[in-house]
A = this chain, B = another copy of it.
Amino acid sequence: MNNPDQTMAVTARAKFRPISVDKVRVRGFFGSRVDTISAATARTLFDRCIEAGMLDQVDPERPNPGLVLPFQHNNTVTSQMFWDSDWGKFIETAAYALNHQPDPELEARVDDVVDAYGRLQQEDGYLNSWYIRIEPGQRWTNLRDRHELYNAGHLIEGAVAYYHATGKRKFLDILCRFADHIDRTFGPREGQLRGYPGHPELELALVKLGRTTGEQRYLDLAKFFVDERGQTPNYFDQEAERRGERPEQFHFGTLEYCQAHKPVREQETVVGHAVRAAYLYAGMADVATEFADDTLSAPLEKLWSHLVDRNLYIHGGFGPSARNEGLTFDYDLPNETAYAETCAAVALVFWASRMLGRGPDGRYADVMEQAIYNNALAGLSLDGTRFFYDNPLASRGDHHRWVWHRCPCCPPNISRLVAAIGTYFYGVSDDGVAVHLYNAGEARIDVAGTTVTLTQETRYPFEGRVEIAVAPQVETEFTLWLRVPGWSEGATVAVNGRPIDAAPKNGYIALSRRWAPGDIVQLDIDLTPRRITAHPKVIHDQGRTVLMRGPFVYCLEQVDNGAELDALILSDTAEIATEESQELGGIVKLTARATRETWEGEGLYRLGTPSRQPARLTAVPYYAWDNRDPGEMLVWLRREEK
């Protein structure tokens, strides 16, 4: 699917940007997911933040909670240091939920948190509840380990979203003052710190803030953080020495962990902590777009290929190891022990979506879709109240969603992604609109001097037909880019009923014309179930296959298939049937004839080879697993040729 010879049809200076969430109305498949966020998840997140004592840490009018969560990593870090980021992501989620469904009570609760942050903010604009209330006097002394700039980024993203959702400027203003403080503190000038986030995130937040406020210096600051990262002498090592520590005592051994081992333009392989990696690359891609910086595009291409060609799970997750929450070595993709953190899949969506900033390219949109519909979406239970942290591709029955987590980064992260899903559907340049993902709903898009209403009618991803009504305010010429998924065996396009004979280029069909109100585009995408096999170096997947249909990776669950899922074998020639079901919020199941190896008696090992009996298998989309009776789960099914 990866063709480096493809060239972009758009200009080298193209800048495709997402539209803000308030401009998209989501119905259909994702509509019901966002309904759940509005109805349940946003309040659940708020309640659990409160229960954890998080507001007590922020609000100077409340008694100081002190250390609530134990330290980790030789007493250098507690996840309590990241609580501001959780508030940022909660507020961001709530903002999108309010876009979808007004909720005065929820809005009032957010305003309470905003007010607390207003009271917390220091005279000079500094804002961090840990360093102001729990460990005062230590600010900016440990960027490597303690997430201080990361927290800033998440608060900024929350503020931008809340501003778009409500029009209220208070939180945005608070965060602009903090961003200004950071801009004064960090930079290349005399007296400034040449540091950068130990956990990247602020970079992409500053680009959002710049786009929202129109302030170029936020974009410049994002670029400074990107450019400065990994330069020699290494800031994190110098900082460690200033703390009286030896740099080589770093808990994670190597600065690859936080992608600060070399300047970003020299980085070619995805290493270290997965979420940090993808957030960094997302920030790099944003900077590449905003500054039309091709010196970033080249390393981003290499990093992308390294991930997609060597290190990406079929469900769109990455980072197999719990030890560093990240990468190990090429082709190391164990299924049962896959860490594949929900946040890493969310971060990959961010990265992939930003790789579309230089123009439509199916390589990125396909992976964005793969991560969204599978690993990421699995992170949230269908009822919206429980959350996966790690996302294995096989389970013996003991893996279930958490109500909460000691390090609660994933719950609000998957929630904000799903609640903002509309923003990933479209990319907009001066004279073009790219449709990256298909889902029922409306969008209002400013392009080529007019505002266009795009209305998608579709049951995608369960059916392949998509109708898009293109309604500019006035008849206007622009290009509509329609993605044809790389996994699709074929797709047909018609405009106003007339078939278009256009082969997709870079995964998109470009329809350049004078669009007028009443125009209808019809797209039909082939959703025939597919068998996928893996490269022989992926040792865990050999002799196995994954069933997919549309963007969905399917899995077997014990509740449908009985126990010992690894005893089931699917022939390469067995017909895969589809079956609509009202279960699991409405899905299409896949079923097939199979065989089951049988085992009689006790003991681990037996002479000879097993006997068999006929069986049937029923597969459901991976994102929906563990929402019924708990039990085994399996993505990579045993296959046989005959």
Q: Interface on A for B, CB 8 Å cutoff?
A: 1-2, 308-310, 312, 314, 331, 333-334, 336-337, 394, 396, 487, 530-539, 542-546, 564, 566-567, 569, 572, 597, 599, 602-610, 612, 638-642
Contacts and interface: CB of A to CB of B under 8 A. Distances in A.
Given A394-B539, A533-B608, A572-B609, A2 B309 contact: no
A534 B612 contact: no
A534 B608 contact: no
The oligomer's copy count stands at: 2
Contacts of A564: 536-537
Contacts of A610: 533
Given A533-B608, A542-B566, 20 more contacts: A1-B603, A309-B603, A310-B604, A331-B396, A331-B604, A394-B539, A396-B537, A530-B608, A531-B607, A531-B609, A532-B606, A533-B606, A534-B604, A535-B603, A536-B566, A538-B604, A543-B543, A543-B638, A612-B641, A640-B642
A605 B309 CA distance: 8
Nearest to A394: B539
Nearest to A539: B566
Contacts of A607: 487, 530-532
Contacts of A539: 336, 394, 396, 566
B640 A640 contact: yes
Contact of A309 (B331, B546, B604, B609): B604
B567 A533 contact: no
Contact of A535 (B533, B544, B604): B604
A396 B309 CA distance: 18
A135 to B, nearest CB: 23
Contacts of A538: 604
Contacts of A531: 607-609
A599 B567 contact: no
A189 to B, nearest CB: 43
Contacts of A542: 566-567, 597, 638
Contacts of A546: 605
A603 B2 contact: yes
A2 B602 contact: yes
Contacts of A394: 539
A161 to B, nearest CB: 34
A610 B536 CA distance: 10
A609 B572 CA distance: 7
A353 B533 CA distance: 46
A44 B131 CA distance: 56
